[in-house]
């Protein structure tokens, strides 16, 4: 089943009375259970594409189907409800509330959902399971300033999974991390994907993108090419990275 299907997607901004076509008739399909990377030069439209297909930004033209449901014409409240209950988000900047502990930040989106009002016990248990799986149980009561960058980003992943989303949208999830923390975070995202979660990830890092099943290259607001890498396996990680790097070089990366 298609997890996400964008057809003739356009996004235009008007800046100083001038039209800026950031996305130009983009066609993109992501299958359920896939892990897909989006790469391209700065200003090519990578993040705009992620924001538009996830409903965080409105498309100027075209349509988006999310697990078969047309979402381009939905109201702000309707799309917000879908984002809360069926989508998870991980960003480069780890947005968390400073006055809450790591644990409280993780459970907050589930408490905000309709089920959260009557099922807090189940939500609390799920949070504990997620934190254990991601190796951050020991920092549950810490403030967000009392953990490492890798721990904080893993907490963001736990928060993104708290409502059992159908898809995770990740925008440069390792961009603010050192090599070791980046490796930790990607290992966890690969595990989630192996368990069936669909992932769409924007990245400029070849090592990170090489862990994806497919990589799309976007340039000047349109998808120029795509590369099929297959499911990630640690034993051929270096070969995947070399293959992806060669492909990117041919495209003028």
DSSP three-state, residue 57: coil
Give the number of other CB atoms < 10 A from CB of residue 85. Answer: 17
Per-residue tens of pLDDT for the chain, all 253 residues:
899 999 999 999 888 888 888 999 999 999 999 999 999 998 899 999 999 999 999 999 999 999 999 999 899 999 999 999 999 999 878 789 999 999 999 999 898 875 556 688 889 999 999 999 888 999 999 999 999 988 998 999 999 999 999 999 999 988 888 888 888 889 889 999 999 999 999 999 999 999 999 999 999 999 999 999 999 988 899 999 999 999 999 999 8
For position 176, what pLDDT does the model report?
82
Sketch the domain layout of the chain as residue ranges: 2-250
- Alpha carbon distance 54, 27 (integer Å): 15
Residue pair 151/136 in contact (Cβ under 8 Å)? The answer is yes
Strand pairing class (222-228; 214-219): antiparallel
This prediction has a pTM of 0.92
For position 127, what pLDDT does the model report?
94
- Within 8 A by CB and 6+ apart from 104, the residues are 97
For position 234, what pLDDT does the model report?
86
Residue 178: both structure tokens together: 């050192």
Q: Which CATH class is domain 2-250?
A: alpha beta
* DSSP letter assigned to residue 143: B
For position 114, what pLDDT does the model report?
59
CA dihedral 186, 191, 196, 199 (to 10 degrees): 0
For position 210, what pLDDT does the model report?
96
Please provide residue 227's backbone torsions phi and psi, each rounded to the nearest 5 degrees: -125, 135
């Amino acid at each position: 089943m298609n997890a996400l299907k964008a057809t003739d997607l356009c996004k235009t901004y008007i800046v100083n009375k001038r039209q800026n076509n950031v996305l130009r008739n983009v066609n993109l399909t992501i299958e359920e259970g896939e892990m897909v990377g989006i790469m391209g030069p700065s200003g090519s439209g990578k993040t705009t594409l992620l924001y538009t297909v996830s409903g965080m930004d409105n498309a100027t033209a075209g349509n988006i189907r999310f697990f078969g449901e047309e979402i381009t014409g939905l109201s702000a409240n309707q799309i917000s409800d879908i984002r809360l209950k069926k989508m998870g988000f991980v960003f480069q900047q780890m947005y968390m509330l400073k006055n809450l502990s790591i644990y409280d930040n993780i459970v907050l989106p589930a408490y905000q959902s309709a089920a959260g009002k009557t099922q807090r016990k189940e939500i609390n248990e799920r949070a504990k399971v997620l934190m254990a799986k991601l190796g951050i149980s020991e920092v549950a009561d810490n403030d967000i300033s009392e953990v490492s960058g890798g721990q904080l980003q893993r907490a963001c992943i736990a928060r993104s999974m708290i409502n059992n989303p159908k898809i995770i949208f990740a925008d440069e999830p390792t961009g603010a991390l050192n090599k070791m923390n980046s490796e930790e975070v990607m290992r966890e995202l690969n595990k989630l994907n192996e368990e069936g979660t669909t992932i769409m990830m924007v990245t400029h890092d070849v090592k990170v993108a090489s862990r994806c099943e497919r990589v799309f290259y976007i340039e000047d607001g349109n998808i120029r090419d795509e590369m099929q890498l297959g499911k990630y396996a640690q034993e051929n990680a270096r070969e995947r990275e070399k293959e992806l790097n060669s492909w990117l070089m041919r495209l003028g990366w």
